Amino acid sequence: MIPVACLLIAFQFATSRRTGSEASNLKWSQIIGLDSSYPRIVYDKTKTSDKGTPTTFPIPGEAKRILQIIARDRLNNEDSKFYYPPSDPRSKYIFPSRKYGKKTKSGISKIPYWQDVRGTFSKLLKMSGVDRHLKNYATRHTLATNLLAETGNLKLVAETLGVSIKTASRYAKVQSKSVVVGVDKVFERKQKQKLKVV
């Protein structure tokens, strides 16, 4: 397995950032205050920023740990898959491409950051016991669904994904278990109230 691709996928699970436009091509210069209590990622634009959605996102704890591991490794280990000399364009990117400057099927690679994690994602799914095909975009859906289930806060989901509340509401799927738990709580409260004498 390729460490750069694995950590890129882990970063996506921890942040819900889109693969091509928000995670793969992420530069170190876009990370503000990584060692502070409020680190964040700043984008010039996102896929939906023209609709008034955010371009600055807080970095959650797990994503912060991933970035700190990469930062330490690239600065202290010249054998690291994340290390490239300052003169190499890949040194600016968090997830550098090993193919940059090398011959590929479509010619010499001119892209300095990792682009395609489909193969690694597929292997990780199989290792996890998931037999069906899922696109890497599932990392975004997984975080959104779990965040909504944990918090019930649609606005928080919208802010995390960088989308409108209308778009985020697609994740508000009512699950059978939630219905049962909710209805049980209503009846639980009713039973605790004393009945009036008639």
We report the CATH number of the domain holding residue 179 as 1.10.443.10
- The single-letter DSSP state of residue 58 is E
Q: Is residue 54 part of a domain?
A: yes
Whole-structure pTM over 0.85, yes or no?
no
Is 126 among the domain residues? yes
Is 197 within the bounds of a domain? no
Tell me how far apart the alpha carbons of residues 115 and 104 are, in angstroms, rounded to a whole number: 13
- Domains of the chain: total: 1
CA distance 121 to 114: 13
- 31 falls within a domain: yes
Q: What is the pLDDT of residues 174-196, one digit of tens each?
A: 555 565 666 677 667 555 556 56
Q: Which domain holds residue 13?
A: 3-192
Helix locations, the chain, DSSP H: 3-15, 61-76, 118-127, 138-151, 154-161, 165-168, 176-192
Is residue 45 in a domain? yes
60 domain-assigned: yes
Position 65 scores a pLDDT of 96
Q: Alpha-carbon distance 116 to 96, whole Å?
A: 12
Is residue 142 a contact partner of residue 13, using CB atoms and an 8 Å limit? Answer: yes
In the chain, the amino acid numbered 166 is: K
Would residue 92 count as lying in a domain?
yes
Q: In this predicted model, what pLDDT tens digit does every residue of 17-60 receive, in sequence order?
A: 888 888 999 999 999 999 999 999 999 888 877 777 778 899 99
Structure-model confidence comparison of residues 61 and 183, the more confident one? 61
On whether residue 119 sits in a domain, the answer given is yes
